[in-house]
Amino acid sequence: MKDLPFIIMPHGGPQARDSESFDYIAQYLASRGYAVLQMNYRGSIGYGKTFANAGKKNWIVMQEDVEDATRWLVSKGYADKDRICMMGWSYGGYASLMGALKHPELYSCAVSIAGVTDILAMINDRKKYRFGRSAKGYFYDGFESKDDIKDNSPVKLASTLSVPLLIAHGTDDVAVHFDQFKAMKSAVKKSSAPVTALELKGSDHYILDSQNRNRLFKEIDKFLLKHLGESDDAL
């Protein structure tokens, strides 16, 4: 099949991986007629220590892998270059924001769920928890300076956003604090892009309660219909 509307969906973590197992988000998007690309970028686990550690240099190589995957889809004719959206959860939400900010020519829109928006704030948040300083080093030791962190934090680049964005976050998230959402919501007001901000009261990082999860997916459906259009393959 050719020229399909596509969702580029990098996994969270980033020290995680996608596998050939049931993914309810990918299946939902497929049911709406969108093709979905999931990739195990450098930094993903399960391919050896060298591959996992390769993603730790400023998170940039992970982002480059996601962008290369998008370009590959277009070059092969699988994706309609004018109907591609980035979507992710947690680190995947961060990747979606950075993709939209740094390469708006690739993406028609972006969806970030429980996404990291301010890396320095994330580092400081982790220090508050037991073993948080160790985790901080594991996740962020590729950054050379605070300026380097700033240059790779969506909240610091938000005024340049030019593609439609949906951001969603649970108010009770302790993995990626709700303050990350509030900061991004405020920062993108300086941009020219249309932004939908969805606050999910009482939800955690995984949005486990059915009421808020249903609300989230209804908003995603509406957002994608508006910015990618209806797919001929929707069920």
Residue 43's alpha-carbon distances to 56, 100, 192, 201, in angstroms, are 7, 20, 33, 32
Q: Contact 78/132 with Cβ under 8 angstroms?
A: no
Run of H or E including 121: helix 119-126
Each of the 235 residues of the chain gets a pLDDT tens digit; together they read 789 999 999 998 887 888 888 989 999 999 999 999 999 888 888 999 898 888 876 678 888 999 999 999 999 999 999 999 999 999 999 999 999 999 999 999 999 999 999 988 888 877 666 555 555 555 566 676 778 888 889 999 999 999 999 999 999 999 999 999 999 999 999 999 999 999 999 999 999 999 999 999 999 999 999 999 998 888 7
Distance CA 62, CA 152 (A): 12
What's the pTM value of the predicted model, to 2 decimals?
Answer: 0.93
* Bridge partners for 169 per DSSP: 199
Q: Which CATH number fits domain 4-227: 1.10.10.10, 3.40.50.1820, 2.30.40.10, 3.40.1190.20?
A: 3.40.50.1820
How many Cα atoms occupy the beta-carbon half-sphere of 23 within 13 Å? Answer: 18
109-113 and 4-8 beta bridge pairing: unpaired
Whether the upstream peptide bond of residue 104 has omega within 30° of 0, thus cis, is: no
